[in-house]
Amino acid sequence: MLNNVLTEDKILLQNNVKNWEEAIQIAAKPLVPEFIKQDYVQAMIENVKELGPYIVIAPDIAIAHARPDGNVHKVGLSLLKLDESINFGEDSHYAALVFVLAAVDNEQHLDLLSELANVLNDSEKVSQIKHCSSSKKIVNIISKTHKEEF
Amino acid sequence: MKFLVVCGHGLGSSFMVEMNAEQALKELGAPDNVEVDHSDLGSAASDMADIFITGKDLEDNVASLGELIVLSNILDKDELKGKLKAKLEEKNII
């Protein structure tokens, strides 16, 4: 499932961003408008302002998301890979891999997330992804994980 | 005995931790009556579980619910397993 959702066209690579708000905006671009409306992007940003940088779930990995409010059309996932990590908080919450999760409810994205967790729990894979120079290579690494695990 | 993993919206990170916690409990040989579920900050309530698991960024928001396990890296399975083990031993469950 992960491979059918996080496809090459959903992955962006960029050297750096000005701030974490920009990171979320750029990371979400491949999902607008087919998967999410622009106000879901704003909701993800507000979410961090309100609750802090907890979306940085592990060193160098952020999963931006918000509670869907009629602004998500279907479950989706996109990724912005940065060469220079961006800080999401005052005290070092740096992320180089910024995922955007589009959730339509509390359930439908859970299989997708469990597959993504399998990739992100493998520090070797995370390191490889951070050094990729193309979205195609990232997809290859993720698909290898998929085949080994299932 | 019930653990509840709590995150901002109950959509993402709490579920990932719940999966890792279930695996860790199995590896630790915890009895079947030790359960794990996930929830969001808004709906989590004190009577929903015995022990609440959350990341350090949300610790202040969850602290009022009851007994806590606070994770510094919520994807770190070893940290989670170590803290679950300590808690279950403290309660004489394993």
Residue by residue, pLDDT tens for chain B (94 residues) are 999 999 988 888 898 899 999 999 999 999 999 999 999 999 999 999 999 999 988 999 999 999 999 998 888 889 999 999 999 999 999 9
Tokens encoding A137: 């290579």
Q: Which residues of A touch B58 (CB under 8 A)?
A: 51-52, 54
* CA dist A126 → A45, A74, B92 (Å): 24, 26, 37
* CA dist A139 → A6, A128, A146, B69 (Å): 8, 11, 10, 35
User: Where do the structural domains in chain B lie, given as residue ranges?
Assistant: 2-83
For residue A40, what pLDDT is reported?
A: 97
Closest CA to A58 of B73, B26, B91, B52: B73
In angstroms, what separates the C-alpha of B87 from chain A's closest C-alpha? Answer: 23
How many contacts, defined by CB atoms under 8 Å, are there between A and B?
A: 66
Strand partners of residue A61: A58, A97
The class level of CATH for B2-83 reads alpha beta
pLDDT digits (tens, 9 = 90+) for A116-141: 988 998 889 999 999 999 999 999 99
Enter the CATH code of domain A2-149: 3.40.930.10
Render A73-113 in DSSP notation, one character per residue. -S-EEEEEEEEEEEE-SSS--EEEEEEEEE-SSSSTTHHHH
| Binary contact (B9, A67; C-beta < 8 A) | yes
Q: Which residues of A touch B22 (CB under 8 A)?
A: none
Q: Which residues of A touch B38 (CB under 8 A)?
A: none
Give the C-alpha separation, A5 to A7, whole Å. 6
Classify the complex by whether its ipTM is higher than 0.90, answering yes or no. no
